[in-house]
Amino acid sequence: MMEAKADMDMNLEQIKPVVGWIKGHLFIFVMSLLIVLFLGCGWYFAGGLNTQLASDIDDHKKNFQKLDKASKTSVTLPMTDGDFSASGTLNQALLDSLDELATKMSDDVAQAREMVLKHNGDPHFEDFPHPDYEGRQSGKPREGAKRLLVPESEFPNPPRSKRENLSNKIHSALVTAYDEMLDAANAGAPPTLESVEAMLLREQSRFVQTDLRKTSRDELSEAELAELTSKLTQDRLQLYNEQASKITFYGTPRAFQLVDSPFETKQDHSLAEMYTWHWDWWIAEDLIRAIASANSDPSSGKPMTVVEAPVKRLVSVRALDAPFEIESSNRGGSAGRQRGGSGRGGAAPATTA
């Protein structure tokens, strides 16, 4: 035990110079210790600093991208004569201009809506939102010419009890409406081939038996046959001229795409198809009204004859598809329109002469 104590005292004696040096050079010792600790832990702190630095750089990059995007902001508004586009930095002046433009466009749409409803005969063209059926029973007088072919209580929301026969009722009214529309515009058809043939046979018989005193055409000489041909040609042209002097232009319901009678075809038609019949009829009304106006005398307003009128014949009319999807219940048809040439329909493009 005495030996161990002696060894400890010897070790302390050896350490005393070191401790004394440390006390005399404390600052150097502390700095040296910090350097050693920094070398040991520096890799850890360096990794954290690099991560933070990379994150800061990425954030700054995103902010610069936002600034660049803001300086190139573009705004596009649909216009009737082409899209309106503006680009640049969003500012209050640009926002005010866009607000003014949007207000003007809204006013134009409202004016167009009112004009269309008024033209279509809706007495509630100023009401917005547009009233439903119950709200429209106010007794306001109708303006314009657009109307339904049946009472509004039956279409487009018919009661179940009237749904079964509705297509027949609307089609019958539709055929009558086209006839009345053309009659009001003083339209008509040229003499039929049957009537022309009957007239020519009568005139031939009268000319041969009365003027030439012959029994039949077979007894005529070549000169007499030539005279007969000339006479019948004049009679035929006179018949056409007489008919042309009675009407303003040639036009019949066959020029339009009228569906065959559901009563005859036994076809069922959806409410959307029956609305398309109205749609085509309304378009036809505007077209016929325009032709009648063009064929009227500018001074007196009286209708001209076919010979004088600029529009002499309506060959065919095909309306564009209605602005909604329709699943036709007719086989081989579209939106309840007749595609073939049978009946009163037609499928040729709109043509006038």
Instruction: For the chain, give the number of residues.
Output: 353
Rounded Cα distance between 161 and 159, Å, is 5
Give me the DSSP letters along 124-192. TTT-SSPP-TGGG-S-PPP-SS---SS-TTTSSS--HHHHTTHHHHHHHHHHHHHHHHHHHTTEE-PPP
Beta bridge mates, 187: 249
Six token digits for residue 216: 């039949």
Both tokens of 312, joined, read 């002499």
Q: Cα(342)–Cα(254) distance, rounded to whole angstroms? A: 9
Region of poorest pLDDT, from 88-102, 111-125, 219-233, 305-319: 111-125
Which spans in the chain are helix H?
Answer: 2-24, 26-71, 92-119, 160-163, 166-184, 193-206, 222-244, 262-265, 271-294
Residue holding tokens 């039949």? Answer: 216
Which residues, 6+ apart, have CB-to-CB distance to 16 below 8 Å? Answer: none
User: How confident is the model over 274-290, as pLDDT tens digits?
Assistant: 988 988 998 898 899 89
At residue 345 the predicted structure's pLDDT band, cuts being 50, 70 and 90, is very low
pLDDT digits (tens, 9 = 90+) for 104-152: 888 888 787 777 777 666 666 666 665 655 555 555 555 555 778 888 7
Angle (nearest 5°) at CA 180 between 174 and 186: 140
Half-sphere exposure of 144 (CA within 13 A, CB side): 19
| Domain locations in the chain as residue ranges | 100-146, 163-186+248-353, 188-246
